[in-house]
Amino acid sequence: MSNKEAKIYIAGHNGMVGSAIWRQLEAQGYTSLIGKSSKELDLRDQYAVNAFFDTVKPAIVIDAAARVGGILANNTYPYQFLMENMQIQNNLIQAALKIEVDKFIFLGSSCIYPKLAPQPLKEEYLLTGSLEPTNDAYALAKITGIKACEAIRKQFGKDYVSLMPTNLYGTHDNFDLATSHVLPAMIRKFHDAKLNNHATVTLWGSGTPLREFLFVDDMAASVIFALENILPEHLYNVGTGSDLTIKELAETIQKIVGHEGTIEWDASKPDGTPRKLMDISKMHELGWKHQVELEEGIARTYQWFLLNQDNFKEVKI
């Protein structure tokens, strides 16, 4: 059996990241992709996950499934963000190990690193300081997943690797204002304000924090890179290696959307971590690098938003 025919299970294949991985694998000739919606398979249910793995027996597992959200959602529902993410990843990792899956790719987030870690963030800074309190529940869950994959590499010699993306955005993103991340939320706000006679847009915080953004298709390419190569270490950052202020991001999105009104900053709202730039030298040394620059990525995302806005469902928590 060639590698392109190997059974690949993508957990979370309907999400922004999972669907991008699916599209790229399909485009590159992979023929045995497996996906289950949350209605078909509840990844929080250990019995159901074990039964699914016993039946399907995937050769490769990509864990792009998670409960995700911005500062508001993380702050409001810390128990669900901690417990549900641990249930999802623990069930997938344990089931994969049980049926001798040799390759497991675990996806996390840059929020795993300490709030005040030196910049840019290196992989070895993990667990060297306190987390950002507005999303520590999600971060803790992801750290346990990284540690589980590292332990399996050490104890069982299997190729379980963790990829930590910076802030992701792109087509198939979540544009619901209550649960979305900063970039898609801004696209939605500027678009709605443009339609409302270019009304003033109010944004959270001071606009001074620095953030790095990676287009989702580049993230998918990094997953395929990890799938097609044996990476020598257990943990890798994935990003662009450059950042900009939230104010600069807002002005970039405003220009692309065509909003001509004013921007007001609500400094009573939290900023989150002051900076989160990833050190991506380890992935660069192995041969992976991002391809899509920010303005192009935002323009592509906004075009997708325009084509699909009638289909959006408000996310219920």
Catalytic positions, written as ranges: 138
- 211 annotated among ligand-binding-site residues: yes
Token digits of residue 118: 């030196």
- 271 annotated among ligand-binding-site residues: yes
Between CA 301 and CA 183 the distance in angstroms is 10
Token digits of residue 200: 């003033």
- 15 annotated among ligand-binding-site residues: yes
- 214 annotated among ligand-binding-site residues: no
- 49 annotated among ligand-binding-site residues: no
- 16 annotated among ligand-binding-site residues: yes
Q: Are 171 and 233 in contact (CB under 8 A)?
A: no
- 207 annotated among ligand-binding-site residues: no
Distance from the Cα of residue 227 to its chain's centroid: 17
Instruction: Report which of 275, 276, 166, 162 is spatially closest to residue 215, judged by C-alpha positions.
Output: 166
- 167 annotated among ligand-binding-site residues: yes
Q: Are 218 and 292 in contact (CB under 8 A)?
A: yes
Token digits of residue 258: 């065509």
Between CA 57 and CA 100 the distance in angstroms is 9
- 12 annotated among ligand-binding-site residues: yes
- 181 annotated among ligand-binding-site residues: yes
- 13 annotated among ligand-binding-site residues: yes
Q: Are 236 and 162 in contact (CB under 8 A)?
A: yes
Between CA 134 and CA 72 the distance in angstroms is 8
- 109 annotated among ligand-binding-site residues: yes
- 166 annotated among ligand-binding-site residues: yes
Distance from the Cα of residue 98 to its chain's centroid: 26
Residue 29 region, left (φ>0) first, then alpha (ψ -120 to 50), else beta? left
- 57 annotated among ligand-binding-site residues: no
Between CA 222 and CA 123 the distance in angstroms is 16
Q: 132 - beta bridge partners?
A: none
Which residues are known binding-site members? Answer: 12-18, 107-110, 142, 165-168, 181, 189, 204, 211, 271
Which residues are known binding-site members for substrate? Answer: 189, 204, 211, 271
Which residues are known binding-site members for NADP(+)? Answer: 12-18, 107-110, 142, 165-168, 181
